[in-house]
Amino acid sequence: MRIDSRVRAALQGFTANYYVNRAKSFQECDFEKLREQFAQVRGRALERNSELLDQFQKNAEAHGSRVLRARDGDEANNMILDIMKKHGAKKLFKSKSMVSEETRLNEFLLAHGIEPRETDLGEWIVQLRSERPTHMVLPAIHLTRREVAEVFSARLGREVPSELASLVQVAREELRREIFEAEAGLTGANALVAENGAMMMITNEGNGRLVSTVPPVHIVLTSIEKVLPTMNDALLMLRLLPRSATGQTITSYVSFLAGPHRQSQYIILLDNHRSELLAEPVFRQVLRCVKCSACLNFCPVYLLLGGAGYAHIYMGGIGTLLTAWLHGLRESREMANLCLGCHRCEQVCPAKIKIADLVIDLRQRLNQELDKPALKSIAFDVLISEPQRLERIFAVSHSTALISRSRDGFARKLPRPFRRYDHFRSLPGPSAKSFSRVFGEEFSAAGQKGDRGMLKIYAGCLVEHFYPETGIASAKVLRKLGWQVEIIEAGCCGFPAAASGFSDAAKKAFARLMENAAGDESIITFCPTCTTMLTHLGPKLLPGGEAEALAKRVFPFSRFIFEREHEALKQLLEGRKLDGKTTWHDSCHQKYMLQAGEASRGLLKMLAGGDFVELPGADSCCGFAGTFSLDHPEISEALLAEKLEAIRKSGAQTVAVDCPGCLLQIRGGCHRQKLKVRVRHIAELAAELCAEKD
Amino acid sequence: MSGNPGPELLEQFSSRAAAMGAELVVVPRLAEASAFIESFCTKQSLKKVLISPQARKLLGGSKLPLLDTENLKNLDEAELGIVAADYGIAETGTLVHFHEHDLEKLVGVLPLTCISVLEAGKIVRSLEELVPEINEQLGRTGLPGPQVSLVSGPSRTADIECRLCIGVHGPARLVILVVEGARE
């Protein structure tokens, strides 16, 4: 996967302002409430889609529009061609339409002797360069003004200066020169209002108004999911869309058109497999998408690759899901592997689409209906079928010095063919003794005296085999707080298999975990990813009372300590604080899946006192993301590089994390780059301060 | 229409419209609105001025030279378009137009400068308050192609290097002329 450094820089420049503007634009409204409301409205509209389309059609026809239904892209393109022929039109003036990208309308028209002419500035630039848009809202974000000047100069046959004002002037003058002779215009629609047959169009430049008003023929190319029952529903969408797309409270122009005035108006409603998607109870919510791109603007992978690297036609995670239905499962396969599973997109989607969750479901579908990736099949088999097998593999590795562990815990460098996995981060060597062994030796003999009752610990694979010290530290803190502690030995929780769409292997692992975790004690975890398996993915795979009861018993370590043991820990600490500046990296699953980011931060602030500094971009993935960093080491490396740069700039001596995966990635990166920074699981930092009492 | 919008609505409208890039001018009565437009044209030496039928109705006996709106090319040659807004939205600084004819819309889009006359009494808090009026307008079947358009600030783009530029395909200047007093 190629990372285009220019696209990356352009997107970073854009998002820096966008994040601020978006947050500001939502200041006066309750985003959570609005999006819940909109998700419901759009969800109910999808359930009644065919009835609402009929109602829209009836009302639009009463206003004099011709409404056409297109089964697929080809049919829609042919309808447009027929309209053009009927009116003797040779050139089609277009305002921005993603649906026309979906049907590849421009290529089709060119092949049939009709010239498509994009009028949105960004789309026009991209068209003149024979490229595709790299962003749904900002199609030419990958280009500099100099390149735009070059393409305009070539078009006009004269030198166009590269000042923004001159470039915009060219766009204005050229369109004005042509539009009054235009025979036909094409626009999209952001929403269709069933109750009055009106279409809502949201734009900024004003080209949409020219294209829909000046030419004698107006074609609207839109898709069936856009129909909403009432005007109020459309206005609710209008509250969310511009704020999500660009951070504007409203765009320069919003039009509601109910029928043509002077022109002939054709409204083409494209299905293109959306009806099949509507019939999918789990995936149907994908059609709640309003194409605002907020999910892309928050996607760490999209921000690296842009629309050229992470798209079929629709982009990013949501694009993966749309592609699977609109263009076929096979076309979505490569994209489906590009999702980190960080779930950051889900926090900002104005339609509350569970994008990352659905990508996991899609991977399962892909494995069922296409061929399974062979290597992963074997790996999950080894990892899951028999937990002891992993320990035996590591034992053999140790005794034969295949994978050695140096005193600082790192493995020696991998052989050359595998260097892409560890040249940017040192990998840990497996611990000589597993966490369960160390735990047995340290605590069982001593007996348990805690008077607060019994807690169970579920460590997860990374702590079990690589970071036993994290598990031991947590157990020490809990024991000091007066709890008795036992561990659940169950091997892998099944998350890596579940996230890769291997649901059978995942079910097997989760069922075993449920069995071994039987009881009613609270369960403390220190890996947010395992915790996500216990509370979200597991219960989805094996629904029922047993999984639900288990989920309720689970507490991530920092949430348990911060929310339930706050005062007790304070007493235990007796005012002791960590030395030096400490900063915090958010583990994606802790923040976005368990919604426990604030508890983690709160706990760290208790430990670090006044020497806590915020890490810029703390809530963006470090690039580990489990099997992702093996599938896409270049992306993993680039994300880690950003994280390390932020750490370096923060001047912190200690970086605290909440997840053994982030620990592996960030500690390994600091080691390779010889950064003098301590990277610790928060449980170890808590244990350090508690231990000083002894 | 009562002329008492509550000063806080006008204040909010003005500050939000300014934030969207519009210029605000408040005059006490319609007579002063006409006077402002005339002096604006003189100062900017604007000769080709277009006025929408609705604005002409509102401003009464305006002495402005008018262009023929039947020929679209004429519309394009105008330097200034004068329109009248039906409502203002305080929350976003938005002008609401209920168009009788789509050429009216073009008067506000084609010229590089647009003056939009708005009576202060027509400012409401949020768009949602206008749903009954919008529905009535869009539901009219006697009239071909009923339209409602919302205009917030000048035409804009950020398509090149994400830098904001105004005046792409629509006006670069939007002057909102708020008439405070009640209609006489």
pLDDT of residue B2: 43
Percentage of the residues of chain B whose pLDDT score is greater than 70: 90
Tell me if chain A has a CB within 8 Å of the CB of B153: yes
Tell me if chain A has a CB within 8 Å of the CB of B155: yes
For residue A206, which residues of chain B lie inside 8 Å, CB to CB?
A: 109, 155, 168-171
User: What order do you get walking across the sheet with A522-525 strand by strand?
Assistant: A484-487, A454-458, A522-525, A554-556
Shortest distance, CA B150 to any CA of chain A (angstroms): 5
Tell me if chain A has a CB within 8 Å of the CB of B150: yes
B23 found inside a domain: yes
**At residue B1, does pLDDT exceed 50?**
no
Tell me B148's DSSP state: E
Per mean pLDDT, which range of A428-442, A609-623, B51-65 is the poorest?
Answer: B51-65
Q: B106 and B71 in contact (C-beta within 8 Å)?
A: no
**At residue B47, does pLDDT exceed 50?**
yes
SS3 state at A269: strand
More confident residue, B5 or A171: A171
SS3 state at B22: coil
pLDDT of residue B103: 79
Shortest distance, CA B184 to any CA of chain A (angstroms): 32
C-alpha span between B45 and B38 (Å, rounded): 10
B96 found inside a domain: yes
Alpha helix (H) residue ranges in chain B = 7-19, 30-43, 53-59, 72-77, 102-109, 131-139
pLDDT of residue B3: 46
Beta strands A184-187 and B113-119: pairing type?
unpaired
C-alpha span between B86 and B107 (Å, rounded): 15
**At residue A397, does pLDDT exceed 70?**
no
Shortest distance, CA A642 to any CA of chain B (angstroms): 22
Nearest to A226 by CA among A236, A238, A234: A234
Q: A683 and A485 in contact (C-beta within 8 Å)?
A: no
User: Of all helices (H) and strands (E), which one includes residue A683?
Assistant: helix A682-691
Shortest distance, CA B158 to any CA of chain A (angstroms): 8
Mind listing the pLDDT tens digit for each residue in A313-365? 999 999 999 999 999 999 999 999 999 999 999 999 999 999 999 999 999 99
Out of A10, A145, A255, the one facing B147 most closely (by C-beta) is: A255
**At residue A115, does pLDDT exceed 90?**
yes
Nearest to B16 by CA among A18, A250, A31: A250
Q: A179 and B71 in contact (C-beta within 8 Å)?
A: no
Per mean pLDDT, which range of A237-241, A444-448, A680-684, B156-160 is the poorest?
Answer: A444-448
C-alpha span between A275 and A320 (Å, rounded): 18
A269 bridge partner residues? A69, A222
C-alpha span between A400 and A403 (Å, rounded): 8
Question: Angle at Cα A147 formed by Cα A144 and Cα A152, nearest 5°?
Answer: 125
Nearest to A346 by CA among A538, A47, A594, A49: A594
CB burial of residue A362 (10 Å; 0-12, 13-18, 19+): buried
pLDDT of residue A134: 85
For residue A377, the number of C-alpha atoms closer than 13 Å in the C-beta half-sphere is 7
Q: A474 and A658 in contact (C-beta within 8 Å)?
A: no
Question: Do A253 and B150 lie within an 8 Å CB cutoff?
Answer: yes
Nearest to A615 by CA among A647, A578, A663: A647
Q: What sign results for the dihedral spanned by CA atoms A511, A517, A523, A528?
A: negative
Alpha helix (H) residue ranges in A386-533 = 387-399, 419-422, 435-439, 461-465, 468-480, 495-499, 503-516, 528-532
Q: A142 and A133 in contact (C-beta within 8 Å)?
A: no
Domain ranges, residue B123: 6-179
pLDDT of residue A692: 60
Q: Using a cut of 0.90, tell me whether the model's pTM lies above it.
A: yes
CATH number assigned to the domain comprising residue B17: 3.40.50.10420
Question: Do A258 and B156 lie within an 8 Å CB cutoff?
Answer: no
For residue A180, which residues of chain B lie inside 8 Å, CB to CB?
A: 72-73, 76
Mind listing the pLDDT tens digit for each residue in B96-126? 999 877 778 889 999 999 999 999 999 999 9
B47 found inside a domain: yes
Cα nearest neighbour of B71 on chain A: A180
pLDDT of residue A395: 66
Q: B176 and B155 in contact (C-beta within 8 Å)?
A: no
Q: B67 and B93 in contact (C-beta within 8 Å)?
A: no
Residues 6+ apart with CB under 8 A from B99: B105, B146, B147, B148, B149
Length of chain B: 184
**At residue A694, does pLDDT exceed 70?**
no
Q: A353 and A314 in contact (C-beta within 8 Å)?
A: no
C-alpha span between A679 and A467 (Å, rounded): 12
C-alpha span between A17 and A497 (Å, rounded): 38
Question: Do A164 and B161 lie within an 8 Å CB cutoff?
Answer: yes
Question: Do A121 and B148 lie within an 8 Å CB cutoff?
Answer: no
Q: What are phi and psi of A425, to 5 degrees?
A: -155, 135
**At residue B69, does pLDDT exceed 70?**
no
pLDDT of residue B63: 67
Q: A560 and A524 in contact (C-beta within 8 Å)?
A: yes
Tell me if chain A has a CB within 8 Å of the CB of B92: yes
Mind listing the pLDDT tens digit for each residue in A121-170? 999 999 999 988 888 888 999 899 999 999 999 999 999 999 999 999 99
Phi-psi region of A362 (alpha: psi -120 to 50; beta: other; left: phi over 0): alpha
Mind listing the pLDDT tens digit for each residue in A268-300? 999 999 999 999 999 999 999 999 999 999 999
**At residue A102, does pLDDT exceed 80?**
yes
SS3 state at B143: coil
Local confidence band at A402 (pLDDT 50, 70, 90 cut-offs): low
B40 found inside a domain: yes
Local confidence band at A400 (pLDDT 50, 70, 90 cut-offs): low
pLDDT of residue A185: 97
Beta strands A522-525 and A554-556: pairing type?
parallel
**Cα torsion for A107, A113, A119, A124, to the nearest 10°?**
50
State the best of A252, A265, A297 to mutate against chain B, taking most chain B CBs within 10 Å: A252
C-alpha span between A398 and B35 (Å, rounded): 92
Local confidence band at A600 (pLDDT 50, 70, 90 cut-offs): very high
B155 found inside a domain: yes
For residue A223, the number of C-alpha atoms closer than 13 Å in the C-beta half-sphere is 25
| The residue to which tokens 């609207």 are assigned | A220
Percentage of the residues of chain A whose pLDDT score is greater than 70: 96
For residue B148, which residues of chain A lie inside 8 Å, CB to CB?
A: 198, 255-256
| The residue to which tokens 């530290």 are assigned | A473
Tell me if chain A has a CB within 8 Å of the CB of B18: no
Local confidence band at A446 (pLDDT 50, 70, 90 cut-offs): low
For residue B169, which residues of chain A lie inside 8 Å, CB to CB?
A: 119, 171-172, 175, 205-207, 209-210
Q: What are phi and psi of A674, to 5 degrees?
A: 55, 40
Local confidence band at A70 (pLDDT 50, 70, 90 cut-offs): very high
DSSP string, A495-532: HHHHHTT-HHHHHHHHHHHHHHT-SSSEEEES-HHHHH
pLDDT of residue A351: 98
Tell me A82's DSSP state: H
Question: Do B135 and A231 lie within an 8 Å CB cutoff?
Answer: yes
**At residue A107, does pLDDT exceed 80?**
yes
B90 found inside a domain: yes
Question: Do A175 and B169 lie within an 8 Å CB cutoff?
Answer: yes
pLDDT of residue B184: 47
Nearest to A671 by CA among A431, A434, A406: A406
pLDDT of residue A377: 81
Rg of chain B, C-alpha, whole Å: 16
Tell me if chain A has a CB within 8 Å of the CB of B42: no
Rg of chain A, C-alpha, whole Å: 28
Count of structural domains within chain B: 1
pLDDT of residue A419: 87
For residue A165, which residues of chain B lie inside 8 Å, CB to CB?
A: 165
State the best of B102, B126, B130, B160 to mutate against chain A, taking most chain A CBs within 10 Å: B160
Q: What are phi and psi of A326, to 5 degrees?
A: -75, -35
Shortest distance, CA B20 to any CA of chain A (angstroms): 8
Which tokens go with A377?
A: 């099949």
B184 found inside a domain: no
Cα nearest neighbour of B162 on chain A: A14
Mind listing the pLDDT tens digit for each residue in A636-693? 999 999 999 999 999 999 999 999 999 999 999 999 999 999 999 999 999 999 876 5
Q: What are phi and psi of A62, to 5 degrees?
A: -65, -25
Out of A10, A196, A209, the one facing B170 most closely (by C-beta) is: A209
B1 found inside a domain: no
Shortest distance, CA B30 to any CA of chain A (angstroms): 26
Q: A582 and A611 in contact (C-beta within 8 Å)?
A: yes
CA distances from B84 to A174, A216, B178 (A): 29, 26, 10
Tell me if chain A has a CB within 8 Å of the CB of B145: yes
SS3 state at A221: strand
For residue A261, which residues of chain B lie inside 8 Å, CB to CB?
A: 101-102, 144-145, 147
CB burial of residue A273 (10 Å; 0-12, 13-18, 19+): middle
Nearest to A664 by CA among A452, A463, A526: A463
CB burial of residue A104 (10 Å; 0-12, 13-18, 19+): middle
CA distances from B167 to A211, A325, A444, B36, B70 (A): 16, 39, 76, 23, 24
pLDDT of residue B5: 54
Shortest distance, CA B165 to any CA of chain A (angstroms): 7
Local confidence band at A490 (pLDDT 50, 70, 90 cut-offs): confident
Mean pLDDT of A578-591: 95
Shortest distance, CA B65 to any CA of chain A (angstroms): 23
Written as one letter, the residue type at B2 is: S
C-alpha span between A101 and A77 (Å, rounded): 11
Cα nearest neighbour of B102 on chain A: A261
